[in-house]
Structure 1
Amino acid sequence: MTEKILLVDTDPGVDDCAALMMLMSQVPKVKIVGITCAAGNVGLRDVTINTVRIVKLFDMLNEIPIFGGCSEPMVLLPKTKDAAFYHGRDGLGDAHDVFPERSESLLDHVQAEHGVDAILRLSKEYAGRLQLICLGALTNIAMAAKIDTDVPKRIKSVHILGGTIKGYGNATPCGEYNFYTDPEAAYTVFRMFPQHCKTEVVPYETTVAHGIRPDLLNKLMSVDSKRAQFFKAIFAAAKVYEDRKIDKGVSPGYCLCDAYVTAIVLNENAVTKSKSAKVAVEISGLLSRGSFIIDHKNKGSPFLSSEDVTIIEELDDAICEDLITKAFTEKR
């Protein structure tokens, strides 16, 4: 089987952690050629330290290069918010003392090369083979494509967590957090990539509908391993928030949003229902900035992507659960 060549763009975030754990548990079946970080759930310094902690958890700091990327969105507006209320002030539940412990010295493991430059270089080195897994704001990806407009032509596929299908937002009434964090970047990516490479989006409602069963995740977090102990510690605060949603019937399980993007890359059979449409992201509007616009009825607009994007609507829960289970239990 052909090896998957992956570059992950991320902003950890406890759900980013779950996604990275899923990926690293599949090495060497997949090759992770780099992880680029961008401000998103929390600031760039924190998400970069968090990424190093997660890679260190899997003892892969010598195998997977980590790059610091953009520290703010393409257009920084007043009162831009982060997601510290959910992920903790540091992005990983403020669980500083669980192994691998949080330390500023972890930044020594970050490459000197900027994340955008790394995307440019790796897109050439692995031209036609590189798959982008986009778990946060799309700032790094958009900036790379703006610097070199041939980047999308060299990418095999792009897999994005973001947007909504029906406008049920988690950042604004109709806006999903990743796209709301940098609407201009998301708009740019959809204008530049779909005409050249496969582009998939896992919207927020899809991730909510396929929450991880509480009994399964609680069982996995009780496993006697460093991986389980780490995730249990960083997820503790977010778990309280998720438990309230489950108790109210808002969600059937724990919503580890980024994990589902990883799942569809690792196993294409995880997708059981999808649709294709031209899309865009709203970059203005008092209430609609950052909203994912889907041309459901093919009305057309010059502001939409020139080619269709695949929108993931339903997933195979058994496949997703198997992959998340391996993230906690499988040894290389």
Structure 2
Amino acid sequence: MAEKLLLLDLDCGVDDAQAIMIALAAPNVQILGITCTHGNTKIENVCKNVLRVLKVCQRTEIPVFRGAGKSLLEGQLNAGQYHGKDGLGDVPDPNAPGLEHIQTENAVNAMIRIATEHAGQVSLVAIGPLTNIALAFKMDPTFPSKLKHLYIMGGNMESRGNVTMCSEFNFAADPEAAYIVLNHFACPIYIATWEYCLRHALPWEFFKEWINQGTEKACFMKNISAHSEKFAKAKQSNGELYFGPGFVSCDSFTMAAAIDDSVVTEYIRYGVSVELQGSVTRGMMIVDTLNLLQKQNQAFIMTKCDIEKVKQLMMSALK
């Protein structure tokens, strides 16, 4: 199997950590770099969290770059309620690597450089707000054409929100960036929406088996995900199906699709954009089912996946 070259852009919370570990465990994948963005927690924490994950996986040779600390319009959301204030469940780690291990090159410059060095070969997996990626396009309008694929965790296809009534967190955290990316990128775009992730929620029994494999990686995952597990189960027992019926690792679904083309079994294909003006719909992904936007580059929106393959990738990640 030909090696897949990936560039990861993320806001390292618990499910980003899960996604990184899936990619690190996949035999046919080379991660060329990890770029950090604001989102689940502040940018300094995101950088530290990525370093922690790489350390536990003994892959500290992978370069990590610091990117945007705020959205294009300076706003900031965070998901501390779910991920913990530090983004990884607020579990103290006295041996965590320090920020001196972050590359001096800015994430946006690194992204453009890596895509240029490996033109047509790199798949960019974007599992946080899209600020860095929009900035890369603004700095180099040829950037999108240098990518092989763009995989996005974000947006929605049935106007179901998770931070506002109608918008998903990553798009709500920087609607302008999402708008720029969805309207200016010419490479194939694959999107794992919030509803797609909810629809494939994993049973809590699987989660228990997954984190109790007894390895160092599994113990790390058990520690960092205890906070979000408690939060999600409390919501579910209150009848708030905000988090769906089970364990939802949005970023893992996106990463699985990027690693193995056969994971996603069904797509719908439409032009997509993002609502910027609406009083209740700002940040909502628009799915142009009528083709009124007349878009050349229509996105592949994931609708069904082979859940057993996702589970296998996740189990391997913590072995």
TM-score range, shorter chain: over 0.9
Unaligned runs of 5+ in 1: none
Mapped contact 1:86–1:237 kept (Cα < 8 A): yes
Matched, 1:17 2:17: yes
Report Cα offsets for 1:145-164 as digits up to 9, x if no partner. Answer: 11010001111000000011
Q: CA deviation at 1:246?
A: 4.5
Identify the residue that residue 234 of structure 1 maps to in structure 2: 224
Among residues 268, 281, 293, which one is paired with 1:301 in the alignment?
A: 293
Mapped contact 2:188–2:297 kept (Cα < 8 A): no
Identify the residue that residue 44 of structure 2 maps to in structure 1: 45
Among residues 198, 212, 217, which one is paired with 2:202 in the alignment?
A: 212
Cα RMSD of the aligned pairs, angstroms, is: 1.4
Report Cα offsets for 1:75-131 as digits up to 9, x if no partner. Answer: 124xx431001100000000113xxx464x521111000000001100111100010
Aligned ranges for residues 1-332 of structure 1 at < 5 Å?
1-27=1-27, 29-62=28-61, 64-77=62-75, 80-97=76-93, 101=94, 103=96, 106-193=98-185, 196-247=186-237, 248=239, 250=241, 251-298=244-291, 300-301=292-293, 305-329=295-319
Report Cα offsets for 1:11-66 as digits up to 9, x if no partner. Answer: 01100011001001114x2110000000011110011100100011111112x100
Q: Secondary structure at the match of 2:318?
A: helix
Q: Secondary structure at the match of 1:21?
A: helix
Amino acid at match of 1:252: P
Q: Secondary structure at the match of 1:324?
A: helix
Q: Secondary structure at the match of 1:82?
A: coil
Q: CA deviation at 1:306?
A: 3.8
Q: Distance in 2 between matches of 1:36 and 1:297?
A: 36
Q: Secondary structure at the match of 2:269?
A: strand
Q: Distance in 2 between matches of 1:42 and 1:172?
A: 18
Q: Distance in 2 between matches of 1:4 and 1:170?
A: 32
Amino acid at match of 1:118: A
Q: Distance in 1 between matches of 2:318 and 2:85?
A: 25
Report Cα offsets for 1:203-231 as digits up to 9, x if no partner. Answer: 00111111122111101211211111111
Tell me the number of residue pairs that the alignment of Structure 1 and Structure 2 aligns.
316
Q: CA deviation at 1:239?
A: 0.2
Q: Distance in 1 between matches of 2:296 and 2:236?
A: 39
Mapped contact 1:93–1:237 kept (Cα < 8 A): yes
Mapped contact 1:74–1:185 kept (Cα < 8 A): yes
**After TM superposition, where is structure 1 displaced by more than 6 Å over at least 4 residues in a row?**
none
Report Cα offsets for 1:174-212 as digits up to 9, x if no partner. Answer: 10000000011110001111xx31111000011111112
Q: Secondary structure at the match of 1:201?
A: strand
Paired-residue identity, %: 34
Amino acid at match of 1:145: F
Q: Distance in 2 between matches of 1:83 and 1:54?
A: 19
Report Cα offsets for 1:231-276 as digits up to 9, x if no partner. Answer: 1111111101222354448323201110000111111111122100
